[in-house]
Structure 1
Amino acid sequence: MTQHLDTHRDLHSDQGALRGEHPGRAKNPIIKVRDLAWLEFEKPDLARAETFAHAFGFTTELRTDREVHLRGADSGTVCVIIRRGPHSRFVGPAFAAHDVADVERLAAATGTLTHASPDSIGGVTVELVDPAGMPVRVVAGMRDLPEQPTQPVHTFNFGREVLRTNATQRPSREPARIQRLGHVVLQSTTYRRSLDWYLEHFGLIVSDFLYYPGQRERGPTMSFIRCDQGATPTDHHTMAMVLGPSDRYVHSAYQVSDLDAIAAGGEYLRERGFQRSWGIGRHIQGSQIFDYWRDPDGFLVEHFSDGDLFDNTLEPGWAPMTASGLAQWGPPVTKDFLGIAPGKESLRELRSMLSAVRDDNEFDLTRLRGLLKVTRS
């Protein structure tokens, strides 16, 4: 039986919107995308990237001297495309439209041209640029990859509900096989303008807004955004966007079968010397069981399972942003996850803070104080 909860009245959020606050959706979006298709990166060492990807749970769909395509077990498109480049960087996301007509409609509305996708993917693509200057693809008509085997969900004994007798529970210590790409989180110095751009162009809708404590009157500083498929429930967030001192990738998340896959897969990664950033725990916004890891190039990636699914009737929740409010249970949030551990990333972010407060963007001195308060909360 499907259980329906009014999650905006309990742990999901503290409260709904006040009069005049952001509605969390556009009145007349150009199109409504159906999902996040894949993410694109550049890295100088494809072999090293592929080694981690296999330990993390991806399967290689395509390998050439110039690029690697990584997929999950679910049918559909690849999850990640990595191209050889002089430096490690996140290039941008690709969203899946419902059909080619949507891609053509978006191209006409934005004054851009469509073009054929590479033969390895198929279909039609339009490439836009978001307010932060990041390329964003929208694609349709791609070649559909067949479903692959994945880890079976275990049979559990819950309290008095006994489903397993005379049988043991022995999850294999192996990579947590990725099922699909779940979401990407981006930071923007022009958060509100970027948020509105994605809602207006792609028909995304906000599940939750967060705001800096004491600064709610200035508007939200983070949003968890889902696809609008009407009465069909979709992931609590396909994309999340947060205000910050630089325009950058924060993390991406990939679904696996269950908690055992996350835990045993984490042991597999740990034994091979990879760095856990934070986990295992359960989030508040989205409810996912999570585990975060750093790949060899420093990118933050997440295993998750058991996330919330919302249809388009739920209005956004509102809650203050705090470091302790990132999880219902689990270890305390780490400095590495927050990006403030000593190292290259925190040094870059510190330099960005000093320059951002002098530039003409949404991250001013008051917002900086709010962010620093969040990291200490």
Structure 2
Amino acid sequence: MTDVSGRHDVHHDLHSEDGALAGEHPGRARNPVVKVRDLAWLEFEKPDLDGAEAFAHAFGFVTSLRLPGELHLRGTLEGPPAVVIRQGRRSRFVGPAFQAASDADLMRVAEHHGVRVTPLPESLGGATVDLIDPSGARVRVVAGQHVLPALPSPVPLPLNRGTRRDRLNATQRPPRAPAAVERLGHVVLQTTRYRAALDWYLENLGLIVSDFLYYEGQRERGPTMSFIRCDRGAEPADHHTLAMTLGPRTRYVHSAYQVADLDVLAAGGEYLADAGYDRSWGIGRHIQGSQIFDYWRDEHGFLVEHFTDGDLFDATLEPGWAPMTASGLAQWGPPATADFLGIAPGRESLEELFSLVTSLRSDNDFDLARLRGLLKVARS
């Protein structure tokens, strides 16, 4: 379906309930400062780099740099490292780095915010402009990084599908081995200041929304989650590079890393299970984004995802709108687990519970009505 503006409505009868109603959020800024190209990398701090590296190798990363207090992890595709981990007293997510389209765009961001362009360490190369989003998170916009050359990557297996016979006189024997990560796909963040944070990313980085979710019965109050992609014009981009959701505290939710195909993902999951790591949820296929997914907890409890076969949208597609439900997180697969939803007994659910009191007493987007909506999501 195509409207008179030439933009396509792929959401009708597909993976969102409908498009926007009159007066709802348009999902993009009219005149953003710049339009970033992609996520460059994610930065973490962890006290145990040896444990972090051991999990990373089991998950399918390759170490591109190891220093006494720093660890860089990469995928097989050409580009910068996907993850940068530095030694810290406690485990924490530091923030994302987004790839500027050019050095000129980096300067434009710096001038707009009245901050300096600063050089990055030689291990990464290039320069950064460091910003703070409305949630208080550090956000880097970077350019000029060293490009790591491509590494060998698994080739998707030939499949016999219906009457199409691509494999003859040969068996399928995918190895039970780490699922070779190809690249960083997206990061999901929770914030108590959802609307301000959403608008900040659209206005400053030129990101555009692919799908909005809202609490059932509260659509008139606006969305509570957004799946946000890079605006590359006619060039397709991942359905979401950043996803943001409203919650009682600001935190990292998960990050996702692409692998070659379902066999690599599934066999890699068996390898992780054999190594003693904990699956959070999977294997299934999402609705928003359509990815085949498998979620795991790393050695410090961070949630990380293997994915394959995600949606790619160009800039013409308008946002879809759908109610937010636990059962609506997947087209097929096991029900979303209490661990994935953050309600399993443990440190994460306790921190979320304790944060409720502070959040409800503070000036932010998370009030009693939103709490009731969130609890309904968990029961759905």
**Structure 1 equivalent of residue 5 of structure 2:** none
Conserved? CA contact 1:282–1:329, under 8 Å: yes
**Structure 2 equivalent of residue 316 of structure 1:** 319
Deviation at 1:373, TM superposition (A): 0.3
Conserved? CA contact 2:181–2:259, under 8 Å: yes
**Which AA in structure 2 matches 1:265?**
G
**Match 1:246 to one of 233, 249, 267:** 249
**Structure 2 equivalent of residue 200 of structure 1:** 203
Alpha-carbon distance between aligned partners in 2 of 1:317 and 1:41, rounded to the nearest angstrom: 32
**Pairs within 5 Å for 1:94-113:** 94-113=97-116
**Pairs within 5 Å for 1:75-154:** 75-154=78-157
Say whether 1:42 aligns with 2:45: yes
CA deviations on 1:340-371 (whole Å, 9 max, x unpaired) are 00001100000111221111110000000000
**Which AA in structure 2 matches 1:100?**
D
Say whether 1:188 aligns with 2:191: yes
Conserved? CA contact 1:188–1:246, under 8 Å: yes
Alpha-carbon distance between aligned partners in 2 of 1:119 and 1:38, rounded to the nearest angstrom: 16
**Pairs within 5 Å for 1:1-377:** 7-377=10-380
Deviation at 1:194, TM superposition (A): 0.2
Conserved? CA contact 2:58–2:272, under 8 Å: yes
Alpha-carbon distance between aligned partners in 2 of 1:34 and 1:185, rounded to the nearest angstrom: 18
For the residue of structure 1 that corresponds to 2:165, the secondary structure is coil
Conserved? CA contact 2:70–2:85, under 8 Å: yes
For the residue of structure 1 that corresponds to 2:31, the secondary structure is coil
CA deviations on 1:119-177 (whole Å, 9 max, x unpaired) are 11111111000111111100011111100001111000001000111000000000000
For the residue of structure 2 that corresponds to 1:9, the secondary structure is coil
Length, aligned pairs only: 373
CA deviations on 1:2-25 (whole Å, 9 max, x unpaired) are xxx953112310000000000000
Alpha-carbon distance between aligned partners in 2 of 1:291 and 1:6, rounded to the nearest angstrom: 29
For the residue of structure 2 that corresponds to 1:253, the secondary structure is strand
Deviation at 1:28, TM superposition (A): 0.3
For the residue of structure 2 that corresponds to 1:268, the secondary structure is helix
For the residue of structure 2 that corresponds to 1:7, the secondary structure is coil
**Which AA in structure 2 matches 1:56?**
F
For the residue of structure 2 that corresponds to 1:109, the secondary structure is helix
**Which AA in structure 2 matches 1:315?**
E
CA deviations on 1:273-292 (whole Å, 9 max, x unpaired) are 00000000000000000000
Q: Which moved more, 1:359-368 or 1:349-358?
A: 349-358
Conserved? CA contact 2:281–2:340, under 8 Å: yes
Conserved? CA contact 1:150–1:177, under 8 Å: yes
Alpha-carbon distance between aligned partners in 1 of 2:119 and 2:357, rounded to the nearest angstrom: 43
Conserved? CA contact 1:70–1:81, under 8 Å: yes
For the residue of structure 2 that corresponds to 1:36, the secondary structure is strand
Alpha-carbon distance between aligned partners in 2 of 1:157 and 1:353, rounded to the nearest angstrom: 51
Alpha-carbon distance between aligned partners in 2 of 1:253 and 1:82, rounded to the nearest angstrom: 16
Alpha-carbon distance between aligned partners in 2 of 1:75 and 1:291, rounded to the nearest angstrom: 24
Percent identity reads 69
Conserved? CA contact 2:10–2:317, under 8 Å: no
Alpha-carbon distance between aligned partners in 2 of 1:353 and 1:11, rounded to the nearest angstrom: 35
Alpha-carbon distance between aligned partners in 2 of 1:206 and 1:135, rounded to the nearest angstrom: 21
Conserved? CA contact 2:9–2:318, under 8 Å: no
**Structure 1 equivalent of residue 3 of structure 2:** none
For the residue of structure 2 that corresponds to 1:314, the secondary structure is coil
Alpha-carbon distance between aligned partners in 2 of 1:185 and 1:77, rounded to the nearest angstrom: 20
Conserved? CA contact 1:11–1:284, under 8 Å: no
Alpha-carbon distance between aligned partners in 1 of 2:147 and 2:65, rounded to the nearest angstrom: 14
Alpha-carbon distance between aligned partners in 2 of 1:359 and 1:101, rounded to the nearest angstrom: 39
Structure 1's consecutive aligned runs of 4 or more residues displaced over 6 angstroms after TM superposition are: none
**Which AA in structure 2 matches 1:81?**
V
Alpha-carbon distance between aligned partners in 2 of 1:235 and 1:10, rounded to the nearest angstrom: 21
Tell me, which stretches of 5 or more residues in structure 2 are unaligned? 1-7
Alpha-carbon distance between aligned partners in 2 of 1:7 and 1:330, rounded to the nearest angstrom: 23
TM-score, normalised to structure 2's length?
Answer: 0.97
Alpha-carbon distance between aligned partners in 2 of 1:10 and 1:35, rounded to the nearest angstrom: 29
**Which AA in structure 1 matches 2:11?**
H
CA deviations on 1:193-245 (whole Å, 9 max, x unpaired) are 00000000000000000000000000000000000000000000000000000
For the residue of structure 2 that corresponds to 1:304, the secondary structure is strand
For the residue of structure 2 that corresponds to 1:292, the secondary structure is strand
Alpha-carbon distance between aligned partners in 2 of 1:65 and 1:28, rounded to the nearest angstrom: 44
Alpha-carbon distance between aligned partners in 2 of 1:89 and 1:122, rounded to the nearest angstrom: 24
